[in-house]
Amino acid sequence: MPTARFLPAPALRLILFVCLCLTAACATRGPATESATAPAPTAAASSASANAAAPVPAELPLLLVSIDGFRTDYLDRGKTPRLAALAAGGVRADALRPSFPSLTFPNHYTLVTGLYPDHHGIVHNRIEGDGENDRFVYNDASTTADARWWGGEPIWVGAERQGLRSATMFWPGSDTAIAGVRPSYWKPFDRNVTPEQRVDTVLGWLDLPPDQRPRFLTLYFEHVDRAGHDHGPSSPEVNNALTEVDAALGRLLDGLAARGLGNAINLLVVSDHGLTAASSTRVVVVDDIVNLKRVRAVNYGVVAGFAPEPGQQAYAYKTLVKRHDHMRCWRRTQMPARFHYGSNPRIPPIVCLADPGWIIARSDWVKEHPHDSPRGEHGYDNDLPEMRALFVASGPSFRHGARVPEFDNVDVYPLLAHLLHIRPAPNDGNPKTMRGILRDGG
Ligand code: AMP
Ligand code: ZN
Ligand code: ZN
């Protein structure tokens, strides 16, 4: 089940208010103050220049395409011939490892900031803030429009600030003025805009006169993820969605070729996470484990968060923080280091993670979903092979016909900054990764 279908949590408590004030200060930081207030990015990444690899021709546009929920092995199903041809002529990574949690908003924002969710502040698709009604709900534009949620500096903000135009045909965060800056061209998310219309909008932006033409563009498709949730990763519906999105990519590639841009644009095609088979009968029923009057559920799903009510800390930690059947819970501050998750006070004090194929829900949700229907889920441990995402690069700046080992999605941002010739903001990425991707890169 997409997290959107879970019930909202009840009112906020003072204890979180104090913590989240701190987070808000962190989230609103601009690039100038970032190093002073942000949880520290890795030293290697923040100090490295973007010049780890060979020079990139100056004026090439860069188009970042996301196919939400495209598991890396979908590329081998024979349903995406245009994407496969792009990969064969360019660079394909064995996989792109998502950041934890392997959810849509945290990972899309990681891709464009190079920061782990713990550091950029979009720690979940649904977050509680510091007031009674202070919530971030990923598919409620009235909440995501508040720039306070979005920390770090997304690549389009860096581009605009450094004199380059950007254009976003959907991307989480792109319809919010982050640090007061929006892309020159952007669209509010609307799933009714067809894949073809999205492609034509991007092509239209590339047709603008040189002084108005964007150098950095995004293009986003949710169709594969949606079919995966509703029918599972092995379903004909996912294959149909792959075919549909590949046709849109074909339209894009043909449109670029018709404009003489076939070999004069750098393309990255990525995804945010993969998907694994789940079912509405593989549910960890949380109110069978803990008294929800003593412990408040902040969110449910594959990754669920809990906050003890006042005076209930000992009960909450004793009852929840351990391995359960099909679920593991930690205190926020004691999560495994490899998750890079837990320092941000927006993360609830207790984090529970479902085992692959399972979800965490309440008994009333279970009553409403009694049937064993095949479905798909993500959000799980980002080390799981099924959570692995897509990375394909094609264009004059990239190697031809190269296959590279998997790498972390925080490493995409330094590559974007390098390709745009802009100064990267402090980030968690490893700029050495791009050496294996760029032509003559190392
Ligand atoms: P998830 O629940 O993590 O699978 O999120 C995927 C869903 O997020 C997609 O099916 C879209 O409906 C939604 N989505 C993607 N991008 C945006 C956006 N920029 N604004 C609002 N919703 C979005
Ligand atoms: Zn997603
Ligand atoms: Zn999804």
With cut-offs at 50, 70 and 90, classify the pLDDT of residue 11.
Answer: very low
The Å distance, Cα 104 to ligand 1 centre, comes to 7
- Verify that 164 and 303 share a domain, yes or no: no
Tell me the percentage of the chain whose pLDDT exceeds 90.
82
User: Is pLDDT at 16 greater than 70 in this prediction?
Assistant: no
Tell me the percentage of the chain whose pLDDT exceeds 70.
87
- Verify that 319 and 337 share a domain, yes or no: yes
The confidence score (pLDDT) of residue 93 equals 98
Q: Is residue 36 part of a domain?
A: no
Provide CB contacts within 8 A for 40, sequence distance 6+: 46
The confidence score (pLDDT) of residue 30 equals 29
- Choose between 409 and 374: higher pLDDT: 409
Q: Which among 275, 253, 273, 272 has a CA at the least distance from the CA of 264?
A: 253
The confidence score (pLDDT) of residue 57 equals 59
- Verify that 424 and 294 share a domain, yes or no: no
The residue among 341, 373, 405 that closes a domain is 373
Q: Is residue 75 part of a domain?
A: yes
Q: Which atom of ligand 1 is nearest to the CA of 125?
A: 3
| Average pLDDT across the chain, whole number | 88
* Mean pLDDT (whole number) for 46-74: 75
How many angstroms separate the CA atoms of 81 and 79, rounded?
6
- Verify that 220 and 203 share a domain, yes or no: yes
Q: Which helix (H) or strand (E) holds 54?
A: none
CA nearest ligand 1 atom 23, residue: 139
Query: Checking DSSP bridges between strand 62-67 and strand 266-270, what pairing results, if any?
Result: parallel
User: Is pLDDT at 6 greater than 50 in this prediction?
Assistant: no
Task: Judge contact between 440 and 54, C-beta under 8 A.
Answer: yes
The confidence score (pLDDT) of residue 156 equals 98
The confidence score (pLDDT) of residue 53 equals 53
The confidence score (pLDDT) of residue 36 equals 27
The type of residue at 274 is: G
Task: Judge contact between 383 and 97, C-beta under 8 A.
Answer: yes
With cut-offs at 50, 70 and 90, classify the pLDDT of residue 371.
Answer: confident
Q: Is residue 193 part of a domain?
A: yes
* Mean pLDDT (whole number) for 399-405: 98
The Å distance, Cα 328 to ligand 3 centre, comes to 21
Task: Judge contact between 306 and 316, C-beta under 8 A.
Answer: yes
In this structure, which ligand is nearest to the CA of 138?
1
pLDDT, tens digit, 9 for 90 and up, residues 87-101? 999 999 999 999 999
- Verify that 85 and 119 share a domain, yes or no: yes
226 lines ligand 1 (CB under 6 A): yes
User: Is pLDDT at 34 greater than 90 in this prediction?
Assistant: no
The confidence score (pLDDT) of residue 211 equals 95
- Verify that 302 and 198 share a domain, yes or no: no
User: Is pLDDT at 250 greater than 90 in this prediction?
Assistant: yes
* Mean pLDDT (whole number) for 56-77: 92
Q: Is residue 16 part of a domain?
A: no
Q: Give the active site residues.
A: 104
The confidence score (pLDDT) of residue 130 equals 78
The confidence score (pLDDT) of residue 38 equals 34
189 lines ligand 1 (CB under 6 A): yes
Q: Which atom of ligand 1 is nearest to the CA of 68?
A: 6
170 lines ligand 1 (CB under 6 A): yes
Lowest mean pLDDT among 18-27, 60-69, 303-312, 421-430: 18-27
Q: Is residue 55 part of a domain?
A: no
Ion ligand 2, residues whose Cβ is below 5 A away? 68-69, 104, 225, 272
Domain count of the fold of the chain: 2
The confidence score (pLDDT) of residue 10 equals 36
Task: Judge contact between 247 and 257, C-beta under 8 A.
Answer: no
In this structure, which ligand is nearest to the CA of 144?
1
Lowest mean pLDDT among 180-194, 276-290, 357-371: 357-371
- Verify that 369 and 422 share a domain, yes or no: no
pLDDT, tens digit, 9 for 90 and up, residues 90-148? 999 999 999 999 999 999 999 999 999 999 999 999 999 877 779 999 999 999 999 99
Lowest mean pLDDT among 39-43, 64-68, 114-118: 39-43
- Verify that 163 and 266 share a domain, yes or no: yes
The residue among 338, 373, 408 that closes a domain is 373
Q: Is residue 407 part of a domain?
A: yes
CA nearest ligand 1 atom 16, residue: 172
pLDDT, tens digit, 9 for 90 and up, residues 383-396? 999 999 999 999 99
Residue carrying the six token digits 């395409």: 65
Residue carrying the six token digits 């890169």: 441
The confidence score (pLDDT) of residue 39 equals 39
CA nearest ligand 1 atom 14, residue: 139
Residue carrying the six token digits 């941002």: 413
Upstream peptide bond of 101 is cis (omega within 30 degrees of 0): yes
Q: Which of 66, 222, 224, 231 has most ligand 1 atoms within 8 Å of its beta carbon, as the pocket-test mutant?
A: 222
Range of the domain at 369: 283-373
- Verify that 361 and 395 share a domain, yes or no: no
The Å distance, Cα 189 to ligand 2 centre, comes to 14
Q: How many CB atoms lie within 10 A of CB 139?
A: 15
Q: What CATH number does residue 255 fall under? A: 3.40.720.10
Q: Is residue 35 part of a domain?
A: no
Query: Can you give the pTM of this predicted structure?
Result: 0.88
pLDDT, tens digit, 9 for 90 and up, residues 18-31? 333 333 333 322 22
- Verify that 125 and 271 share a domain, yes or no: yes
Q: Which CA distances in Å does 290 have to 5, 305, 312, 317, 372?
A: 21, 13, 12, 10, 25
Q: Which helix (H) or strand (E) holds 29?
A: none
User: Is pLDDT at 49 greater than 90 in this prediction?
Assistant: no
With cut-offs at 50, 70 and 90, classify the pLDDT of residue 58.
Answer: low
**Which tokens sit at 69?**
């929920």
Lowest mean pLDDT among 34-43, 92-101, 213-222: 34-43
* Mean pLDDT (whole number) for 273-297: 96
5 lines ligand 1 (CB under 6 A): no
The confidence score (pLDDT) of residue 442 equals 39
125 lines ligand 1 (CB under 6 A): yes
* Mean pLDDT (whole number) for 365-375: 82
The residue among 355, 373, 391 that closes a domain is 373
**H-state helical runs in 354-407:** 363-368
Q: What CATH number does residue 356 fall under? A: 3.30.1360.180
How many angstroms separate the CA atoms of 122 and 283, rounded?
26
Q: Which CA distances in Å does 284 have to 180, 402, 438?
A: 42, 43, 45
272 lines ligand 1 (CB under 6 A): no
CA nearest ligand 1 atom 17, residue: 172
Q: Is residue 129 part of a domain?
A: yes
The confidence score (pLDDT) of residue 13 equals 36
Query: Checking DSSP bridges between strand 96-97 and strand 407-408, what pairing results, if any?
Result: parallel
Q: Which of 110, 189, 238, 375 has most ligand 1 atoms within 8 Å of its beta carbon, as the pocket-test mutant?
A: 189
- Verify that 329 and 260 share a domain, yes or no: no
* Mean pLDDT (whole number) for 267-291: 96
CA nearest ligand 1 atom 6, residue: 104
- Verify that 116 and 200 share a domain, yes or no: yes
